[in-house]
């Protein structure tokens, strides 16, 4: 089925071939040859930029240039009218931008809007030239650029939404030639899943059909999509992309930027700059002051009942007052390390869970009966021998969400050990008779003992 040749639609294969032939002929005739297939100008939404106006008028005269030959217009404005437009790439809609200022220049002198740059200022007056710089330093120009950017973003989002809801999409896989009908996401997901070719999430892409056509043309010209090298045949290209893992597009190729919504979000910023700003914000947040941070309550649960406390200190007080179980005292008296505390807590948890008294090994029907027995018999503080609970199996928590385990610390034991070390008296050696001390030192016997052993 032949494609209808309406303004804004892509040319057919025959037309592209004609354009390529035209390019080769043009190389011989002129350096201003056509380096790519021609197409009518399109706005981001897929329609002509201004209906019935395929060219752009000069800002000062009636000379006009095709929209695709924007550079020629800029060159003409500099040579003929000495007007320079700063940061042209940041103008979202160049055609509307030129028409706006063309109208304003007829209303007021150009010097009201442009900065005057004088060149050859040291030369005689008749040899001096004035150039006029139009840039966003002028508030009116800045506002115009921002409005054009907003309008373009609106058109892009409308186009994106239309493509997301479109169920009449038709496309062919670039790698296996399988045909797909329905939504564009079906084809994109197929290429990502079956061929490891991922150009991004469907919802982040706009003008998807044009994007796929651009990629297909590169493959048809035997060009790798990532390194952009050209190969002699299709099989060589396929082997190269598979072996080198080049089934992806070149992120540095700005030709693809127009197909991603992120490049339209902020004026003059590409996806790399937006992403870099996000990374910087993340680093800035990491350096913020956290002094006002308030931790959530730990809600640790008692070893013997269902009581929960917001802080570990309150839980220790509860177990000491309600059950006469002082974990801090036991840790200090028994000299428990952090891992021994973990084993002890997990041991008690398991015994209580199994309704078994660890003091007398009696079994009960419920936890309430167990608790009553242990409190009456004073078995809560009656721990079994260390070898009973100091086992490897108790490294594993009885309850996965046991917050009490996260609050255990061996700081007190370290302090106690340090205090014990400090209690050991240390006597300094009498160095006044150093020679006699060396002769009588026990260290002299060590080499002799080593020789006897050998």
Supply the DSSP string of 398-413, one letter for each residue. SSTT-GGGGG---HHH
DSSP E strands, 169-267: 169-172, 179-182
For residue 189, pLDDT over 70 is answered with yes
Confidence of residue 194 (pLDDT cuts 50, 70, 90): confident
- Give 170's strand partners: 181
Structure tokens at 291: 């002094």
Which tens digit of pLDDT belongs to each residue from 326-338? 888 888 888 888 8
Does the pTM surpass 0.75? The reply is no
Contact 70, 94 (CB under 8 A): yes
| pLDDT of 285 over the 80 cut | no
pLDDT of the residue at 50? 40
Comparing 71 with 10, the larger pLDDT belongs to: 71
**Closest by Cα among 192, 300, 196 to 242:** 196
Q: What is the mean pLDDT of residues 400-405?
A: 83
Distances (CA, A) of 368 to 353, 354, 357, 380: 11, 12, 12, 14
How many Å apart are CA 102 and CA 94, to the nearest integer? 12
pLDDT at 34: 38
Which residue would you say has higher pLDDT here, 322 or 400? 322
Which residues, in sequence order, are CB contacts of 86 under 8 Å at separation 6+? 133, 134, 135, 136
Q: What is the pLDDT of residues 345-397, one digit of tens each?
A: 999 999 999 999 998 989 999 988 998 999 888 888 888 898 889 988 888 88
| For residues 294-298, average pLDDT | 58
| Residue 222 pLDDT | 92
């Amino acid at each position: 089925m032949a494609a209808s040749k309406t303004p804004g639609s892509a040319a057919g294969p025959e037309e592209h071939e004609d354009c390529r032939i035209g390019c080769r002929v043009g190389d011989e005739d002129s350096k201003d040859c056509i380096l790519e297939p021609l197409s009518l100008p399109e706005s981001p939404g897929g329609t002509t930029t201004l209906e019935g106006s395929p060219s752009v008028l000069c800002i000062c005269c009636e000379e006009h240039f095709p929209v695709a030959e924007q550079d020629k217009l800029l060159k003409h404005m500099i040579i003929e009218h000495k007007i320079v437009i700063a940061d042209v790439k940041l103008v979202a809609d160049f055609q509307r931008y030129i028409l706006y200022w063309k109208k304003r220049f007829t209303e007021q002198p150009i010097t009201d809007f442009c900065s005057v740059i004088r060149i050859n200022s040291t030369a005689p007056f008749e040899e001096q030239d004035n150039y006029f710089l139009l840039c966003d330093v002028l508030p009116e120009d800045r506002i115009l650029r921002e409005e054009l950017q907003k309008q373009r973003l609106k058109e892009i989002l409308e186009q994106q939404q239309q493509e997301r809801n479109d169920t009449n999409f038709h496309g062919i896989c670039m790698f296996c030639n399988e045909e797909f009908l329905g939504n564009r996401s079906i084809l994109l997901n197929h290429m990502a899943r079956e061929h490891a070719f991922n150009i991004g999430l469907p919802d982040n892409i706009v003008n998807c059909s044009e994007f796929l056509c651009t990629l297909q043309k590169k493959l048809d010209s035997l060009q790798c999509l990532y390194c952009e090298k050209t190969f002699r045949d299709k099989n060589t290209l396929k082997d190269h992309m598979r072996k080198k893992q080049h089934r992806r597009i070149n992120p540095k190729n700005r030709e693809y930027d127009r197909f991603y919504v992120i490049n339209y979000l902020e004026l003059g910023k590409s996806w790399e700059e937006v992403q870099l700003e996000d990374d910087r914000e993340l680093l800035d947040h990491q350096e913020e002051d956290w002094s006002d941070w308030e931790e959530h309550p730990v809600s640790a649960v008692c070893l013997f009942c269902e009581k929960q406390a917001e802080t570990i200190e309150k839980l220790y007080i509860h177990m000491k007052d309600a059950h006469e179980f002082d974990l801090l005292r036991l840790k200090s008296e028994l000299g428990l390390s952090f891992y021994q505390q973990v084993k002890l807590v997990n041991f008690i948890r398991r015994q209580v869970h199994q309704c078994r008294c660890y003091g007398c090994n009696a079994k009960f029907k419920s936890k309430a009966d167990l608790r009553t027995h242990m409190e009456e018999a004073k078995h809560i503080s009656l721990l079994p021998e260390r070898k009973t609970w100091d086992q490897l199996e108790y490294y594993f928590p009885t309850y996965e969400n046991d917050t009490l385990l996260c609050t255990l610390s061996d700081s007190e034991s370290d302090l106690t050990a340090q205090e014990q070390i400090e209690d050991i008296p240390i006597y300094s050696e009498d160095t006044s008779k150093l020679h006699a001390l060396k002769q009588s030192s026990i260290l002299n016997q060590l080499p002799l003992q080593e020789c006897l052993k050998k």
